[in-house]
Structure 1
């Protein structure tokens, strides 16, 4: 008997979360929480931001983001710098160590996934490639 769309949705959600959790385990610095790495990755991909903009991007309050930024700053991953156009503003930017952590984590995650894909048949890899396109389209709807 064919599965209902509801059953398919549940199975896809579970499989997606399990894969995401497994990928998150592959990181360059095991001490960083997922939330902390998310901030570093956001700064890496989108550039330096104000505390308010960073909080909005991460969907947290400014006081919560300030605690996260303080922790990351103490760890040497980020720094606060004066905004060139408005000296009253402070911009949160990655340090070289923060950049390296993001790059190393991305490489580690890609390497792990590459190894997993190598163990699959060409047909299964083709199926996943098609599923990747479909999943990407779901996230843009």
Structure 2
């Protein structure tokens, strides 16, 4: 498909952007957003740990939602439990995560961020969380849901195009 599509026209008063106009705006905005995210400085104590984007998602879940089982992490990350377990193992070996017995069910293991790494991870990831809160807070719940679904649809369409 070419860049030029069949966009819906804006209202005569110009209040609603046509699809092509919105695409142009997003094609300019997305690289700037990615660039800003990449420039967020990794705290010095975490720089040598070679953290990847998949690790950031896992750390964000634990930071926002607190300690949880590997299966709960896998469900939140939308990955297989074995994938989540491998990531937890990798981050545990690096001293970022710890696994402990669940006091209520000794067969279960609870994963959490180590106390020593929590401040650095919190300061690193909180900037993005604050920016998202500022952007999403004025929206109604339905608008936030639509925004999330739109980003998910975009990501899925990009994944579909990788097969071409």
Q: TM-score, normalised by structure 2?
A: 0.61
For 1:2-13, list aligned pairs within 5 A: 4-9=18-23, 11-12=25-26
Q: Where does the alignment leave 5 or more consecutive residues of structure 2 unmatched? A: 1-8, 11-16, 147-164
Contact 2:66-2:112 at 8 Å conserved across structures: yes
Superposition deviation, residue 43 in structure 1: 0.5
Q: Give the equivalent residue in structure 2 for 1:83.
A: 102
Match of 1:138 in 2: 143
More helix by share: 1
Q: 1:19 to 1:48 in 2, by over 3 A?
A: same
Question: Structure 1: which 5+ residue stretches go unaligned?
Answer: 114-128
Note the C-alpha offset of 1:17: 5.8
Residues 41-120 of structure 1: pairs in structure 2 closer than 5 A: 41-106=60-125
1:32 lines up with 2:51 in the alignment: yes
Change (3 A) 1:12 1:37: same
Q: Which whole-Å CA distance do the structure 2 matches of 1:137 and 1:130 have between them?
A: 14
- Per the normalisation by structure 1, the TM-score is 0.70
Q: Which has the higher contact order (CA 8 A, sep 6+)?
A: 1
Give yes or no for the alignment of 1:19 onto 2:33.
Answer: yes
Checking the alignment, whether the CA contact within 8 Å between 1:44 and 1:94 is kept in structure 2 is yes
Q: Is the 8 A contact 1:40 1:98 kept in 2?
A: no
Larger Rg: 2
Give the aligned partner of residue 123 of structure 1.
Answer: none
| Aligned counterparts of 2:135 and 2:68: Cα–Cα separation in 1 | 35
- DSSP-derived class of the 2:124 partner: helix
Query: Residue 39 of structure 1 contacts residue 58 of structure 1 at CA under 8 Å; is this kept in 2?
Result: yes
Query: Aligned partners of 1:135, 1:18: CA distance in 2, in Å?
Result: 26
Q: Distance in 2 between matches of 1:130 and 1:95?
A: 30
1:121 is matched with which residue? Answer: none
Deviation at 1:69, TM superposition (A): 0.4
Count of aligned positions: 125
